[in-house]
Each structure stands twice: as structure tokens, then as C-alpha cells.
Amino acid sequence: MAGIEEREFCFPDCIHLSQRYRCDILRVAQCVGEGCAFRQSETEYRLAYERWQKAISALSCEQRGKIVSKYYGGKMPHVMQEKK
């Protein structure tokens, strides 16, 4: 049976992997591994978030309003508020 050190070595660098080697976002018995389409490292997550913020800030107020009403129940999330 594999020890904890060996198990850590086998699992991918993914922010969704819990400390108990379970996936926090998918309904799978155990982590799918490197081939998982949802695997995301800390750096990948940060870069994706920055791209998302850039895309949101490029939208008009009207377009943002449509997104807010459809996905956020009409309440503007902090990250989508205009910077002053």
C-alpha cells in the first residue's frame, strides 16, 4: 500500500485537490490525475482570474448589468464593481 509521500507524488498540482486527496469540485471517487480537464494549478487559476477581470472591465455598464442580473441575482459582486 502506498504511503502518504508516495500518494502526494502521484497527484497533480491542482487547487481543487483537498488535503484528503479528494476532489472538491467533481463527483469522482478519487482524483482523475494529470489528464483531468478541470485540473488547475495556483498559477493557472490566478492567470484565468486576471483574464476574467480584464474581460469584465472591458464590458459596458449595460453588458455588466445583464450579467449581474442573470448570474448574480441583481447584486453586483465586489470584483465587478468599477474601480474609481
Among the residue ranges 14-22, 44-52, 54-62, 71-79, the one whose residues contact ligand SF4 (CB under 6 A)? 14-22
Shortest separation between residue 16's beta carbon and ligand SF4, angstroms? 4
**DSSP assignment string, 26-55:** S--SS---TT-TT---HHHHHHHHHHHHHH
Residues 41/34, Cβ–Cβ less than 8 Å: no
Which residue, 41 or 63, is less far from ligand SF4 as judged by CB?
41
Residue 15: Cβ within 10 Å count: 14
Q: Interface with ligand SF4 includes 38 (CB under 6 A)?
A: yes
Which residue, 20 or 54, is less far from ligand SF4 as judged by CB?
20
Which residue, 44 or 63, is less far from ligand SF4 as judged by CB?
44
Sequence letter at residue 77: P
